[in-house]
Structure 1
């Protein structure tokens, strides 16, 4: 389907995929770009990208993503991002789950990697990132403190890449949002899209919102992340766009602790899924796990609003501070996940792992079975286009993922890449090799932790 610079483009979703797409469309001279979002205020508080920080790394076993990540890392350094990117280096480790292709691909792309062949090397690398006087004390005299502050990493190996780090996620989204508006894009808040608008011939011509407004376009791009399948149950995208919640927690360090740990690197454990960040300027340390996560199944008529859908299907639907705002209910996480998170954190930074939680939330991914994104036209109607299924590794590509989307929209994406992202690609038997676990668990609402039973100070963790 032909798309030109004068085509009317309607993008649903002002998150990572939606804003990056709008930015690249406007950069190519498109003159009629409208971005709709359900949030009353942007960035949306419960979007995956609205967070304190996100990992920026190039360690991929798939060379396609490794190259794209290196391109994104260079883009993050540009003045446009106002210093959002912090290149603190990334430690990548694992046991029998460690894939040497991560290191090999980084090396092939010119990254100055440092091999960490055993537990001793990993431990030494982490110790060297502590405040110099503390590290010297730990290394030469205080073995008890050594064990107290850094784990043992038994049977682990990995590598360190100094070219990587983290981005201030929420601030980066805000920067791109303002940039899109400065370039002439229309961004309209408080517009919850609830369905598609079709003409007499059943061809899609736009979207309709809960308040009755309609927005018509020559191309309609759905970039609503983990809400994709539940917002449009009639499209039956459950298998390609599965919403999964990942448990995220933060701790608050003292001033002394912040100084001690502020030189730490990103730590990625592909064996357990744990990843940790250095402390922020406010002394906040975020940690989470890159696993299969949790689903939150609801009947299709409950989430789509159409009781005539037959047969009734269960669709995983995000459970957030927006859908469950009462007393911070939407920020609760499974107790079992918090216990596992603390134990895995203890294996890296035993001292910090004893800190009480200062906040939690569920970060909702949109997972495809093979870990590839879903970018392309809907087979039933080329007007409808998808840019979704970040699969837990989309945010780092905020500067350049929109380029791929626009290339696909214009029909210039190379055939191999188009096939990789196709909506109707065959994913039977596919798995995401980066996840520490393969099968998501269903959320047990009775197990969710609240402030009264976990002594958590609840607040939206991206603030």
Structure 2
């Protein structure tokens, strides 16, 4: 097996003066920046396609404590539609094509299939406008598969004693099959572990894995990366899958907005666990969502729904410096306002849990593109740099397929429908409205900033996920 070439900072970097990057071969050195959800998926697909000289770099070990994928569970939905050729394929929205690829992975790929739980999905809202949104955006399959619900009818979706609230003004739909949740962390680890078995090398969890900059040659080529230990790693192709941190390494022309969401866990007693087993996901677009307790810690995860937090003026910013964008940071607490939203959601659904202490809490980052479509493309000015960013709040659900799209782009064979949807598109970010809700709801119908937060929770758990 060949090795990605490394050089010290004192060595001169030699680059051929050519307009096109070197021809890609199976033993060409390839660097993947970031070992989070998309980095692990990309590594898996590179290994499956026979690339023998792949190095994944990340300052954090995998599963990374800052990765959105390092989580006990995420919502997932599979669809029954499959492309059959002809005019039907061209009429179907691109989101359906993407969902079909992803569904195939959750249902049939042995790396991911064990972690998908088809328990059902309930989508709801509390006001007429939000309910109309639910009907238009959450009914993604045959409408006959959805049972309408209102008020206390929601209680019938789960065993007696789970949903005891009054569900004031709630209306929604229950899809009993074809949706549920995935064990996010285990699926993420499974992808990375399989990539390692296929020969992909991971240099993570140390300064050696922290990329501090891209290395540029002639004609705009990215010829590798520099790392925090003072070394330079050369590569024929470099793949950027650094999530919300990608903005620190490359100018994305305002196409990425690092945005964070909030989650909390409540510990259940051993005697309660059977009652809360195999529950459907309950999601109110104005309140929040929850899924069944995890098997390791026996904790119920609850998220308060909102358009997200940015960090334009909060932690990590120098008050004397000009604004440097929304800067991600790690924190295993949530704002007290977020805690109150979580507890209000529980008072409407499971009041028996509303006042229990939190066992764990964290903020969780992603990167929004202006239209919430992924950004997977060869950089127009750097033809040896492949971009795989812009999860836009729904990136993890596609861990089964996203690496395939990225490697298709690497190999120059990404289908035109995906190429058009995922392209480099700075024109969409001209005069970008950083407060755009981007179709999200929540009690707080506004994008918030961590600079506004006065008080944080004080959850005393040292876990990093």
TM-score normalized by structure 1?
0.81
Identify the match of residue 102 of structure 2 among 57, 63, 72.
Answer: 72
Q: Distance in 1 between matches of 2:298 and 2:137?
A: 31
194-203 or 66-75: bigger deviation: 66-75
Q: Are residue 243 (structure 1) and residue 258 (structure 2) matched?
A: yes
1:88-129 deviation line (CA, Å, top 9, x unaligned): 111112242233244553128xxx72221533543332xxx2
1:52, 1:461 within 8 Å by CA — same for their partners in 2? no
Shift of 1:414: 2.6
- Tell me how far apart the structure 2 counterparts of residues 119 and 267 of structure 1 sit (CA, whole Å): 14
Q: Which residue of 1 aligns with 2:180?
A: 165
- For 2:87, the equivalent position in structure 1 comes to none
Matched with 2:231 is: 213
Alignment correspondent of 2:405: 404
Which residue among 280, 284, 293 is the counterpart of 2:294?
A: 280
Tell whether the 8 Å contact from 2:313 to 2:449 is kept in structure 1 after alignment: no
Aligned equivalents of 2:252, 2:93: Cα separation in 1: 27
Residue equivalent to 2:214: 196
Q: Give, in angstroms, the shift of residue 387 of structure 1.
A: 0.5
CA distance in 1, matches of 2:361, 2:139: 35
Matches of 2:328 and 2:49, distance apart in 1: 34
Distance 2:390 2:261 in 1: 15
Match of residue 380 from structure 2: 379
Q: Note if contact 2:181-2:281 (Cα within 8 Å) is conserved in structure 1.
A: yes
Alignment coverage as a number of residue pairs: 416
Q: In structure 2, what is the Cα distance between the partners aligned to 1:450 and 1:157?
A: 31
Distance 1:406 1:445 in 2: 40
User: How far, CA to CA, are the matches of 1:65 and 1:151 in structure 2?
Assistant: 35
SS of match in other structure, 2:213: strand
Cα offsets for 1:387-433 (capped at 9, x unmatched): 11111111111111111111222222233321221122532578632
1:432 is matched with which residue?
438
Equivalent residues of 1:248, 1:360 under 8 A apart:
yes
The question of 1:184 aligning with 2:204 is answered: no
Give 1:25's match in structure 2, choosing from 1, 26, 46. Answer: 46
Do the aligned residues in 1 keep the contact of 2:220 with 2:381 (CA within 8 Å)?
Answer: no
**8 Å CA contact retained: 2:332, 2:464:** no
Paired residue secondary structure (1:106)? coil
| Cα deviation, residue 71, structure 1 | 3.7
**Where does residue 82 of structure 2 map in the other structure?**
none
Kindly indicate whether the alpha-carbon contact (under 8 Å) linking 1:379 and 1:424 is maintained by their aligned counterparts in 2: no
CA separation in 1, counterparts of 2:153 and 2:173? 9
Partner SS state of residue 369, structure 1: coil
Q: Distance in 2 between matches of 1:445 and 1:152?
A: 30
Question: Quick one: distance in 2 between partners of 1:461 and 1:203?
Answer: 37
Which one of the candidate residues 71, 77, 82 is aligned to 1:57?
A: 77
Cα distance in 1 between the residues matched to 2:251 and 2:24: 26
The answer on whether the counterparts of 1:376 and 1:421 sit within 8 Å (CA) in structure 2 is yes
- The answer on whether the counterparts of 1:58 and 1:67 sit within 8 Å (CA) in structure 2 is no
SS in 2 for 1:297: coil
What is the aligned partner in structure 2 of residue 323 from structure 1? none
Gaps of 5+ in 1: 139-145, 321-329
1:119 correspondence with 2:129:
no
TM-score where L is the length of structure 2:
0.81
The CA distance in 2 between the partners of 1:225 and 1:460, in whole Å, is 22
Q: Distance in 1 between matches of 2:221 and 2:100?
A: 40
Query: RMSD value over aligned CA atoms?
Result: 2.9
Following the alignment from structure 1 to structure 2, what is the Cα–Cα distance between the partners of residues 66 and 120? 33
Stretch moving more, 68-77 or 400-409: 68-77
For 1:88 and 1:104, locate their aligned partners in 2 and report how far apart those are by CA, in whole Å. Answer: 17
Unaligned runs of 5+ in 2: 1-19, 80-91
Which residue is equivalent to 1:16? 37
Counterpart among 263, 266, 269 of residue 284 in structure 2: 269
- Structure 1 position 447 matched with structure 2 position 462: no
For residues 37 and 182 of structure 1, the distance between their equivalents in structure 2, rounded to whole angstroms, comes to: 19
Residue equivalent to 1:48: 68
